[in-house]
Amino acid sequence: LAALVAGNDVLVCSASLSPEGDAVAQALTVLDLNERERYERYENTAVARRFAVGRLRLREMLAELLAIPPRAVPIQIGVQGKPALARGLQRSGVRFSVAHCDELMLVALSRNGEVGIDVERVRPIERWARVADRVFNPAERAEIGREIAGGDDPSAVLLRFWCRGEAELKAIGSGISGLSAHRDGWHPSGMRVAELPAVPLPSSLESERAQYQAAVALWTPRDTSASRSQAENQARPPRITPTSASTA
């Protein structure tokens, strides 16, 4: 895993959140106090299980990169809810972002800047035009219209643009609170966004035949690329290796 992260701008790993074996019991042995309290507050057992298993898989990935036990990985939550390594380990350069959709979890890992990832299951979106008008800026809305006019499925196009926007907002750590500025056309310098041509699915989910849209953003505000225009940044998407990584 460390070699893959070192060789790419961003590495995307997938994991299943399905109730396999003793995953929940194992997770409860590595969650910290705050995570355990959050797990116990969930009234929906499926949501609680997905959270616990997701944190276990995330901790396993980070533990391998940091060469420490999963239980020792210090995860803190930012003001807008973005998880990150606690300050003492931020000097490691490891940055990550997490996205969930049903039983699928994607994790973006990088040592090259702040990352954001989002994933959505492809499904029909009722009143997609109204959603697009409310969420996207005029330039994006026009591009959505052109792709649909070219024959692409409206729901798939909408979800693809949604994932791109969400990934960007996650990378800068603003979450949904930054949607208004994004809708006004603001994009920070040094931001690169790429769609995943194929979402890496764990073997346990491949049989479900569900299709997903996903996108990854990499933000390097102090890099020399920060002075480039938005068009130049978009023309050079980050190198991304998707992998269905086993974290057992």
What local confidence, expressed as pLDDT, does residue 188 receive? 79
In this model, does residue 233 exceed pLDDT 50? no
> What pLDDT shows up at residue 247?
34
Residue whose entry in the numeric block shows the structure tokens 């603001």: 186
**Residue tagged 């346990």 (tokens):** 204
Query: One-letter amino acid identity for 238?
Result: P
pLDDT tens profile 60-105: 999 999 999 999 999 998 877 889 998 878 778 899 999 999 999 9
What pLDDT score was predicted for residue 182? 65
Between the ranges 87-91, 158-162, 229-233, 239-243, where is the mean pLDDT highest? 158-162
| Predicted local confidence at residue 234, as pLDDT | 39
Residues 6+ apart with CB under 8 A from 65: 1, 2, 5, 92, 94, 109
Compute the average pLDDT of residues 176-182: 62
Q: What is the pLDDT of residue 226?
A: 38
Look up residue 2 and give its two tokens. 């460390």
Output the pLDDT for position 149: 94
Mean pLDDT value of segment 26-30 = 95
Confidence bin at 137 (pLDDT 50/70/90) = confident
Side-chain-side CA neighbours of 225 within 13 Å: the count stands at: 19
User: What is the predicted pLDDT for the residue at 222?
Assistant: 65
Average pLDDT, the chain: 85
- The tally of CA atoms less than 13 A away on the side-chain side of residue 134 is 5
Q: What is the pTM of this model?
A: 0.84
